[in-house]
Amino acid sequence: MAKRKIFAENSVRLTVNGQVYDLDVGAKSGQIDPSHALVYTLRETLGLTGTKAACGQGACGACTVIMDGKAVNSCKILTIECEGKSITTIEGLRDPKTGALDPLQQAFIEHAAFQCGFCTPGIIMTSKALLNENPHPTEDEIKEALSGNFCRCVSHYHVVRAVLSVAESGRQTDERQL
């Protein structure tokens, strides 16, 4: 079995929110440990703390990011497995030129689809991936897509309404970074 490129070069290159990162792999200061999950690298190495670390087992959805167009649990993926991947975090949804919120983020505000906000980034990223794949999902399709995201303090009714409002209004943004 051939070794992966990443081990031969002791580095990993990934694109996060449109920015390319070359990360050295190793145990020294300034390097990413081969055992680090993507959520750790995003938060601790790159300073992108919008992605939340919670269960560490892929069961709650708080760490959801979009990788190559698909919603993934970043706690279940090693950073070294992300060679050549394009990743979008909650911070990457803002318009890079104007700083305006993504229509989905704005809809969550308009529909009070959050309370404490801890799980909100994961729910938004899951919803964004759904809308990119299916711009006009049904309520049942939204519920199915969000079935892996758990929140203890808000009714998912508000979340579903926010996602539906974007789908129905056509406010979906382009896939500029996804």
- Residue range 85-100, pLDDT digits in tens: 999 999 999 999 999 9
N-term to C-term CA, the chain:
32
- Pick the closest to residue 130 from 170, 71, 174, 177 (CA basis): 71
The residue type of 59 is A
**Residue 27 or 72, more confident:** 72
Other beta carbons within 10 Å of 11:
18
Share of the chain above pLDDT 90, in %: 79
Q: How confident is the model at residue 171 (pLDDT cuts 50, 70, 90)?
A: confident
Question: Residue 177: pLDDT above 90?
Answer: no
- Pick the closest to residue 23 from 12, 34, 33 (CA basis): 12
Mean pLDDT of all residues in 133-145: 96
Q: What is the pLDDT of residue 21?
A: 97
Question: Residue 2: pLDDT above 50?
Answer: no
Question: Residue 174: pLDDT above 70?
Answer: no
pTM assigned to the model = 0.88
CA distances from 175 to 63, 134, 135 (A): 20, 12, 11
**Residue 44 or 153, more confident:** 44
- Pick the closest to residue 78 from 45, 47, 124, 32 (CA basis): 32
Q: Are 38 and 96 in contact (CB under 8 A)?
A: no
Query: What tokens were used for 75?
Result: 């706690």
Supply the mean pLDDT for the chain: 90
Mean pLDDT of all residues in 58-67: 96
Q: What is the pLDDT of residue 172?
A: 66
Mean pLDDT of all residues in 5-16: 76
Q: How confident is the model at residue 29 (pLDDT cuts 50, 70, 90)?
A: confident
Other beta carbons within 10 Å of 136:
11
